[in-house]
Amino acid sequence: MLTRLAAQLESISEGAIPIATVYTNPDFALEVLIPQYLADSLASKINERVTLHTRVYLEAQGQGTSFIPRVIGFGSPVERDFFEVFTSVKGVGTKKALRALVEPPSTIAAHIVSKDAKALTKLPEIGKRSAETMIAELSGKIDKFAGDAIMAGATATRTMPATSIEQSSFPPAAAEAIAALMALGEQRSTAEQKVQIALTKAPEGADVDVLVQTVFGG
């Protein structure tokens, strides 16, 4: 099983599913299917050595009468693991998943965790029904992949003027955690309830990062 590939990046072809062409020597080149979010980050690395964390699948041809091996590449093992979980959703096959991944896995996972179906429908080929199915089937399975996006939302609240966070009976860290959850699509009342519960579970004096992690079972 091919799980990692370190090679020179020759080119990236644009399309619904971008293709990275890499080579280990001038006589051998390999086409690797990659999601759009990764193509965007690799665009500045043409002619540089890159490492892709890969999986191989067989693509059916001629109504399943023959198969072609395809290599898919990701930026890290975690991103590859997310893809495995993402494609477990009913109706989301390998190619549909690749076309949908125009945002980083952590961002998409955060949409699922916060049950933001509207945000999910902005992904290519993901309609309302597919979004609702994702939320239902991946509930509790995707939280670990959302950490970076959740923390980014929490960090963003720290740069907001104090007047942008409504006065409440919550301590400052809790107020920031509420704002972070609202940035992920939660209604204020729901966010306040979740943070209130987190306050009873987290250590006394917990900061915003700990509170948000506690909300999501961290």
- Is residue 215's pLDDT more than 60? yes
- In this prediction, residue 148 carries a pLDDT of 53
What is the rounded CA–CA span in Å between residue 215 and residue 181?
Answer: 9
Cα within 13 Å of Cα(13), Cβ side: 10
Return the percentage of the chain with pLDDT > 70, whole number. Answer: 88
pLDDT greater at residue 169 or residue 181:
181
For residues 98 and 149, membership in a common domain is answered with no
What is the rounded CA–CA span in Å between residue 40 and residue 52?
Answer: 14
* Contact by Cβ (8 Å): 178, 195: yes
For residues 97 and 151, membership in a common domain is answered with no
Q: Mean pLDDT, to the nearest integer, of 123-129?
A: 94
**Structural domains counted in the chain:** 2
Last residue of a domain, one of 80, 102, 124: 102
For residues 2 and 62, membership in a common domain is answered with yes
Residue 107 domain flag: no
Q: What are phi and psi of 115, to 5 degrees?
A: 60, 40
For residues 93 and 154, membership in a common domain is answered with no
Domain of residue 190, residue span: 145-215
For residues 81 and 158, membership in a common domain is answered with no
Closest CA to 167 of 192, 133, 194: 192
Q: Mean pLDDT, to the nearest integer, of 100-110?
A: 91
- Is residue 186's pLDDT more than 90? no
Residue 39 domain flag: yes
Residue 116 domain flag: no
Q: What is the CATH number of the domain that holds 40?
A: 2.40.50.140
> Could you tell me how far CA 170 lies from the centroid of its own chain?
30
Q: Mean pLDDT, to the nearest integer, of 36-46?
A: 94
pTM of model > 0.75:
no
Residue 115 domain flag: no
Residue 139 domain flag: no
Q: How many residues does the chain have?
A: 218
- In this prediction, residue 40 carries a pLDDT of 93
Confidence band for 118, pLDDT divided at 50, 70 and 90: very high
Residue 127 domain flag: no
- In this prediction, residue 147 carries a pLDDT of 63
- Is residue 163's pLDDT more than 60? no
What is the rounded CA–CA span in Å between residue 177 and residue 153?
Answer: 9
Residue 135 domain flag: no
Last residue of a domain, one of 37, 71, 102: 102
pLDDT greater at residue 193 or residue 127:
127
Residue 167 domain flag: yes
